[in-house]
Amino acid sequence: MTTQVLLDTDIGSDIDDAVCLAYLLAQPECELLGVTTVTGEPVDRAKMASALCKVAGVDVPIYPGVERPLVIPQKQKTAPQAAALDKWPHDAEFPQGQAVEFLRRTIRANPGQVVLLTIGPLTNVGVLFRADPEVPRLLKGLVMMCGVFTNRLAGVGPLEWNAIGDPHATAVAYAVDASVHRSIGLDVTCQVRLSADEVRRRFRCERLGPVLDFAEVWFANRPHITFHDPLAAATIFDEAICTFQRGRVEVELTSDKLRGMTHWTPHPEGRHEVALGVEPRRFFNHFFSMFE
């Protein structure tokens, strides 16, 4: 059996989005129904997604999404990794202004079957849930790489990029009811990381070729890849990779400095399922087994 997945992504900024999409395209248990892009230069982001789909030989609908946050100014105006696009075939034309409607239509056509995986700022999702409040209850699950929920890992502050990229949309996403409402936060994802040299050594298969070229843009300023988004995706297919606890999440909107911070309170009847730990070895074994 396969799991139907919709991916909402800001591919082109942090390299882990491209890694995540490559994983979903290689995952035999994943039926990827479509990709929507979000934040600055959404068309360039769609082109990157297209390049990955083409090298995988998979025809996936791709829709550039909402560029600007609901209220605050744009924090993420460009898609730097698109600089490597000329090395790979990709589509250049995409349906405009239809991403949210595509998500709504696809979820309604497959009630109880679709996992919506969000790995970028939540603008598309916030607009979707506001436009059609019944949609979250029609999902099989909402899985988000978003937020910070514990202070167990030194060096991780209280803010996470996807959550603060559009904090008002983040608040909308955490206010809904879904049968599975899962968050994998920065405090957990930072525990799955590979150095640039290790990535170059292990990303040798054809399907990871575009990812490695996009990664070289990333490595110009950073010496490693943290697998934030692929970890969130992997929990859809192997829940034992992470440990989870139920609770309640509220999003800070009043403080300018902390807007978008996720406040988590454990509660056995809470609607939110939050990752508290990860088995890095199990995750990496699972991830690379897709590319053997």
Print pLDDT tens along the chain (292 aa): 899 999 999 999 999 999 999 999 999 999 999 999 999 999 999 999 999 999 999 999 999 999 999 999 999 999 999 999 999 999 999 999 999 999 999 999 999 999 999 999 999 999 999 999 999 999 999 999 999 998 656 568 889 999 999 999 999 999 999 999 999 999 999 999 999 999 999 999 999 999 999 999 999 999 999 999 999 999 999 999 999 999 999 999 999 999 999 999 999 999 999 999 999 999 999 999 999 9
Q: The tokens of 266 are what?
A: 């454990």
How do beta strands 272-278 and 193-195 pair? unpaired
Token pair 């809470």 in the structure block, residue: 270
Backbone angles phi and psi of 204, in degrees to 5: -100, -15
Is-contact 22 9, C-beta < 8 A? no
- What is the sign, positive or negative, of the torsion defined by CA atoms of 27, 30, 35, 39? negative
* 227-239 burial: b if 16+ Cβ within 10 Å, else e: bbbbbbbbbbbee
Q: Over the stretch 250-283, which tens digit does the pLDDT of each residue have?
A: 999 999 999 999 999 999 999 999 999 999 999 9
Is-contact 75 162, C-beta < 8 A? no
Rounded-to-integer distance, Cα 130 and Cα 157, Å:
30
Report the topology of domain 3-289. Answer: Inosine-uridine Nucleoside N-ribohydrolase; Chain A (3.90.245)
Backbone angles phi and psi of 235, in degrees to 5: -65, -20
Q: Over the stretch 50-72, which tens digit does the pLDDT of each residue have?
A: 999 999 999 999 999 999 999 99
Residue 150: what pLDDT? 84
Rounded-to-integer distance, Cα 18 and Cα 9, Å:
9
Is-contact 184 275, C-beta < 8 A? yes
Half-sphere exposure of residue 206, counting CA atoms within 13 Å on the CB side?
A: 5
Q: Which secondary-structure segment (H or E) carries 166?
A: none
Q: Over the stretch 16-42, which tens digit does the pLDDT of each residue have?
A: 999 999 999 999 999 999 999 999 999
Is-contact 287 230, C-beta < 8 A? yes
Give the E-state strand segments of the chain in sequence order: 3-9, 30-37, 62-64, 114-118, 141-145, 181-184, 193-195, 224-226, 242-251, 262-266, 272-278
Report the phi/psi class of residue 146: left, alpha or beta, with left for phi > 0 and alpha for psi in -120 to 50.
beta
**Start-to-end C-alpha separation, the chain:** 21
Instruction: Enumerate the domain spans of the chain.
Output: 3-289
Token pair 């809904």 in the structure block, residue: 176
* The model scores a pTM over 0.95: yes
Is-contact 248 264, C-beta < 8 A? yes
